[in-house]
Copies of this chain bind each other. A is one copy, B any other.
Amino acid sequence: MSKPRPISGFPEWTPAETLAEQTFLRKAVAVYESYGYTPLDTPAVELVQTLSAKGGVDKEIYALERLKEESRSDKPAELGLRFDLTVPLARYVALHYGSLNFPFKRYQIGKVWRGERPQEGRFREFYQADIDVIAEGNLPIHFDAEMPRVILEIFRRQKIKARVRLNNRKLLTSVYGELAIPQEKLGDVLREADKLEKVGAKALRGSLLEIGLSEQTSERVLTLADTRGSFEEIKSKLQTLDLVTANTEPGLAELESVARDLSDISSEEWSIDLGIVRGLDYYTGTIYETNLVDYPSIGSICSGGRYDDLASGFINKSLPGVGISIGVSRLISYLFKENALPVDRQCPSEILIMLPSEEKRGLCNEIAGRLREKGFNTEIYHQEQNMKKQLRYADRKGIPYMLFPFKYSSESPIVEVKNLASGEQVECPLDEWIRGGGH
């Protein structure tokens, strides 16, 4: 006998938690599709060559080998598990380029794997939920505004307060350029500025001086990294700093377009934040991070941005894109810990039909069929047992209604239905109960 044990980094939930996670994901799917994003489902497995085309080796790829292979170590692994959903998207778009309709709007919810060494709180298998729009040639700025719009709608439907912070990489590099920071130091400066929230102003000032910036320049970097608000506020701040110039204008114009498109959404749900940097070598325009208003400690749970060229590693076409990704497993496990996601159902059943005796099973099947047809999730108790045992089953599984078929016949379809929480019991024709929406 091989006593089972959980494997560190590979999360799995209780049935009630799984149902809560599925409910979250279904709402996300409904929102994605309500904006016209189409589902994509690529294999979990890609060629190692594909996974490492853009330097993915750093992402701790899990390689696959057939367990029974005699000479495992002789040749390099050919296949590996994906570590994100962006590389598979790039490969998919390059491979099926001729048959796709652009702008191509897709969502993908799927697991990704990272072969990290086991470590507290680090997932080695987790869900991501991504949307991306890929265009041929020119990608309209409208889509940059659609990303936060979609994400905010998802969290609104979950009744969780989220706030998207956005910035623009083009603006950021041009503004920092205006500060006369040498090109070769720009990367380091951005990397450090990204840490402001974590390390605080004092530590950041120290780092900037260490990089070799003057005190005055360091102060201005600090001011910029701490600048947030509406587009008007950002622009007026930049004007004060003499940073609205011909060089910074293109990035500023993009930001203005996005802000204008989002003007119907409350400023409680989004703002511009010049402190957001999002890595260095990938994004080229709008960038996003998302925080939960009531749970600041989780940090950003959804981020992304615009990139100039999705599939340059695979195909000789200019395919700009913009995308945003929810780190589902990290988010969900955090929400579970904080009791911030309702984990209140043991199973999907809404009604348990009491089985008076095996002879009545045919009638119970008939009732169950009518209920299921109308969309009610319905179980029939599984064997002849006393009422107490049947009620206890409903109770343990948290099934809200119990239906008693004692008076039911096909000709006179009278049922008694008890709300197990309130104790309230009604007697009426089955169809009437169904029409009442289960009340």
A residues in contact (CB < 8 Å) with B: 1-7, 10-15, 18-19, 21-22, 33-50, 53, 57, 60-68, 72-73, 77, 79-81, 91-92, 94-96, 99-101, 103-106, 111, 113, 115, 124-125, 140, 142-143, 153, 260-261, 263-264, 312-316, 346-349, 361-362, 365-366, 369, 372, 375-380, 382-383, 396-397, 399
Contact = CB atoms under 8 A, between A and B. Distances in A.
A148 B426 CA distance: 33
B61 A63 contact: no
Contacts of A94: 4
A146 to B, nearest CB: 8
Given A63-B64, A64-B64, A366-B264, A12 B43 contact: yes
B105 A347 contact: yes
Given A4-B50, A12-B92, A45-B10, A378 B65 contact: no
Contacts of A64: 62-64, 81, 115
B60 A63 contact: no
- The residue among A11, A15, A113 with the most chain B CB atoms within 10 A of its own CB is A15
Nearest to A38: B347
Nearest to A17: B41
Contact of A18 (B41, B46, B68, B362): B41
Contact of A1 (B38, B47, B314): B314
B77 A65 contact: yes
A67 B77 contact: yes
Nearest to A79: B7
A50 B2 contact: yes
A370 to B, nearest CB: 12
Contacts of A105: 347, 379
Contacts of A365: 261, 264
Contacts of A125: 43-45
A41 B21 contact: yes
Given A18-B41, A67-B62, A382 B81 contact: no
A386 to B, nearest CB: 15
A312 to B, nearest CB: 8
A34 B378 contact: yes
Nearest to A7: B47
B34 A372 contact: yes
Nearest to A22: B39
Nearest to A47: B7
A256 B232 CA distance: 77
A181 to B, nearest CB: 33
Given A33-B348, A67-B115, A383 B140 contact: yes
Contact of A38 (B18, B47, B101): B18
Given A4-B94, A39-B22, A43-B7, A60 B53 contact: no
A361 B143 CA distance: 12
Nearest to A376: B34
Contacts of A347: 36-38, 101, 105
Contacts of A49: 2
Contacts of A382: 103, 140, 142-143
A57 B62 contact: no
Contact of A40 (B18, B91, B264): B18
Given A44-B125, A115-B66, A19 B7 contact: no
Contacts of A67: 48, 57, 60-63, 77, 80, 115
A288 to B, nearest CB: 18
A53 B1 CA distance: 8
A93 to B, nearest CB: 9
B37 A348 contact: yes
Contacts of A43: 7, 10-12, 125
Contact of A72 (B50, B73, B312): B73
A175 B105 CA distance: 59
16 contacts: A2-B49, A2-B313, A6-B95, A12-B42, A13-B41, A15-B104, A18-B40, A22-B41, A39-B348, A45-B125, A62-B64, A64-B115, A101-B347, A105-B379, A140-B383, A143-B382
